[in-house]
Structure 1
Amino acid sequence: MAGRYDTDPATIRAKSFSAIRSEARLEHFGADMQAVVVRLIEACGMAEVADRLAFSGGAATQGRAAMTDQAPVFCDCEMVAAGIRAGLPTAQTRTGIVPDQLGGAVVAIGSDPVALFKLLEALDSGAPRPAVILAFPAGFVGAAESKAELAARPRGCDFITLRGRRGGAAMAAAAVIAMGRGLDG
């Protein structure tokens, strides 16, 4: 069996990105957003993710600028933070969302819909606006509803979310990595 499959990470990634570009409908996304969508699809293996995203027009650009400026990345759980650190070792990740420190930050939620609801409540109460909210909580209770609330009323924030129950830590981390690296490495 040895030698019958690719083992070089760069080759695997290039083939993966090529397959994603051929299977997913990416033509209606700008270049920055395409990088995010490709990374999201790579993280979950589902090309149809491209058709299920809700996002604001400036989300990818604002997220990329925040990452370039080394803004803090607030995560809802350690799994998201660990995924980000694996792909972006220099990223300033913090587990837990601190409302009074959100100004200009990147917020990545990949597990807990309650964290997204509480973030939205904090914004309603006047918390500083993050640069971008990347909302991918998964599950059967609250996940779809929290993401629908963000998409319907983003509170003046740029955002990317996946409609419905699907999501997860890998997708939230992938979105941050796309903003920090694009499709490089």
Structure 2
Amino acid sequence: MEYIKDPMAIETRSMEIIAPHLAKFNLDEQEVKVYSRIIHAAGDPDYANIIKIHPEAIAAGLNAFKQGCNIFCDVEMVRTGINKRRLAEFGGQAYCLVADETVAQEAKAAGITRSMAAMRKFGEQLTGAIVAIGNAPTALFEVLHMIKEERIKPALIIGVPVGFVGAAESKDLLHATSPVPYITVLGNKGGSPIAAASVNAIMYMLGR
């Protein structure tokens, strides 16, 4: 059986297959890149119908990368999927505290999720940074609470938690109320690969 073996050829062909699914959405070139990488990561063209990108999101992300921003993740799977070598070229690092023992203890004491406790631990560090949430709705709810009550102001929120308990609701709240630019996908879909793909899509636009 003949099949494509070259990694770049595989990616190029994938984007060619995805392109017709985006034709009806009137996207600009940068939005196409984000949509395409999300769909590629999910293997699901239906994502085109549920992706929501704030009008300032891509510009905010690009500017943050240029400023050497850090990325704060809710779970290790998101951090793993981010191109950390490229991120380091801009002076940034990706962080996740979900496995930190102190965070685990604080979460247990407060009766909350580790990802939620991790966001509290990051605190002021979130200001000017990119927050990438792919798994835990509680982390997204917490970040939105911190923005409202503690005046934390990330440069960009990529909020795509997956699941059936709180995921859709947290993303609806992000989409409806966030004063911070965001990228999200509505409903139950999402996940760590989608969060990482969104981060990488913007970072690759800078083309270093």
TM-score normalised to the size of structure 2? 0.81
- Tell me whether 1:113 sits opposite 2:137 in the alignment: yes
Between 1:85-94 and 1:157-166, the stretch displaced more is 85-94
Q: Which runs of 5+ in 2 are unaligned?
A: 97-117
Runs of 4+ in 1 over 3 A off after TM superposition: 85-89
Using a 3 Å threshold, how does the CA distance of structure 1 residues 101 and 123 change in structure 2: closer, same or farther?
same
1:92-139 Cα shifts (integer Å, max 9, x gaps): 101143121112111100000000011111111123211110011000
Q: 89-98 vs 131-140, which deviates more?
A: 89-98
The match for 1:18 is 16
Whole-Å separation in 2 of the counterparts to 1:131 and 1:89: 15
CA-CA distance at 1:54 after TM superposition: 2.0
Contact 1:132 1:158 survives alignment (8 Å): yes
Partners of 1:160 and 1:72 in 2: CA distance: 17
Opposite residue 149 of structure 2, the aligned amino acid is S
- Pick from 177, 189, 208: which aligns with 1:166? 189
The alignment's C-alpha RMSD in Å is 2.0
The alpha-carbon deviation at position 89 of structure 1 amounts to: 5.6
Distance 2:190 2:19 in 1: 20
Match of 2:30 among 5, 29, 32: 32
Structure 1 residues 61-95: Cα deviation after superposition (integer angstroms, max 9, x where no partner): 11122122220001001000000036746251011
How do residues 50-89 of structure 1 correspond to structure 2 at under 5 angstroms?
Answer: 50-85=48-83, 88=86
Matched residue type, 1:79? M
CA distance in 2, matches of 1:26, 1:83: 29
Give the AA of the match of 1:93. A
Q: 1:167: how far off? A: 0.2
SS of the residue 1:29 aligns to: coil
Task: Please give the secondary structure, in 1, of the residue aligned with 2:164.
Answer: coil
2:125 matched to which residue of 1? 101
Aligned partner of residue 139 in structure 1, secondary structure = coil
TM-score, normalised via structure 1 length: 0.91
The code of the aligned residue for 1:46 comes to D
Q: Count the aligned residue pairs.
A: 182
Gaps of 5+ in 1: none
Separation in structure 2 between the aligned mates of residue 88 and residue 50 of structure 1, nearest angstrom:
26
Q: Distance in 1 between matches of 2:202 and 2:13?
A: 21
Structure whose residues are more often helix by fraction = 2
Output the CA distance in 2 between the equivalents of 1:25 and 1:183.
24
